[in-house]
Structure 1
Amino acid sequence: MGERLAGTAWVLWTCARMQAREMAGNHLGLIICIVQPAVLVLVTVGSRTDQPTATLTRWTIGVVLTSLWASTVWVAGGILRMELHYGTLAASVTSVRPGFLVLLGKCLGATLRSVVVIAVSVTVTVALTGTGISLHNPGWLLLGTLLTVVSGASLGMLLACVLLLTQYGQQVSAALMYPVFILGGLLVPADLLPVQLRWCSTLISLRWAQDFLAGAASGTVAPGSLGMAALLTVGYFVLAVVLFGKVVDRARKEGTLELV
């Protein structure tokens, strides 16, 4: 059991490190993780410094998570399509290690790098604008951040499988990104949306992560929000593993994917 866990950890670490290195030269990733969060901070937090600290803190966390969603769609979600493009998909899905484990490691690497770069960009921009935010309960904030990384990676896995099944990956990515910007409850509060659309945000783990992180940073811990984020994350992961298996089976039986 110990050797198996060590082997799994090694695969995840190796794949995560490789994906993080690949992202270093991704200009789209730099725009999404550096430029976009800085602009969003200036438009939201930077222009309303008269708001209460708790509100500014929630908006700032919303900017981080909105940028993370964009990175998940365009970077983590496109991992399998890029491997198909470069001809390395076969090695990933037919190796001695489970293919979904390789994908998970790469999505973890992409998500973790995105979170770090976005956080740096937001921190610098907030400091330059002189915006005051609160950061209470550092232990809970760390736990919430780790769950957010895992949740982003699970979403990335799910999107990677979905986008691999269509030849209109860029169009689908764009179609997925902006509705979450509006309906996800991250920058636009859910109570400002039409009643018929408010339920949409309850299916997005990042919304619950924002509730937990914003509350913890302001001094109020909401374990219910953390639990909902964790539950949705597990759901994303299970769906991603099931869909990944179907993608591989389809490729092997029907030859619909260019694995060789």
Structure 2
Amino acid sequence: MTIQDIDKILASFFCDIYNHELYPKDPRETRFERWFRGMGRKLPEPLDERELDICLMKEAQRVVQAHGSIQFENLIYRGESLKAYRGEFVTLRYDPDHILTLYVYSCETNDNGEEFLGYAHAVNMDTHDLSLEELKALNKERSQARKEHFNYDALLALGKRKELVEERKEDKKEKRRSEQKRLRSASKKTSNVVELRKSRANVSSNKDDKLELLPERVLREEIQLPKTELQPEVSGQADTQEQERHKLLVPNRKQDLKKIW
């Protein structure tokens, strides 16, 4: 059970059962009758609700935004009577058991008291009823879900980044392969390998030509050398060479032997 359920059970017990039971010290009347007789058999006048607002919880000041809206506990509240107070500071009061409705008061100025300006209801939550604790629990779950969502987005971004890196690596490898292939094809076009192969093919095609045969073997006795006669000029040339050689080796008598040595 929630606090609201316990509140309803206790209120039902005291209002419907306990107050209508007999008073123990005087069994002739019930507790309600005894209380009603003590009030002079006259019900008290109901108090103004604004006089009871002092019992409500008081929140820090807020600024009235556009269209008479106020932000409180991650919710947007709006009141038709607050449109005229746009940009002004106001004081909020609220019932912790019914947090979807705020009581808006003007701020205290000097000795003047607070003036009730109107109600502000949570936007798009007219059919709901939440307490302050329930609203805080919802905000906590919402923030936790937002954090988990952010973490999930971060993991997705990390996975996408890894995939992108792998794609860029593959693109780089493919570009390198294509560049190497292009260089190979260009080197084949500029090389002389094809011409060398063609020339070798031409040489191999000429193998059918007749080869020149070696002469038959000739005996040594059959070789005839031409006879040459010595001419006298050769001996004369030898004598002149001999004289020149002696001239180079024999020193002049006028030179000193020590100097020659």
TM-score scaled by length of structure 1: 0.20
Name whichever structure is richer in strand by fraction: 2
Q: Whose RCO is larger (CA < 8 A, sep 6+)? A: 1
Q: Which has the higher helix share?
A: 1
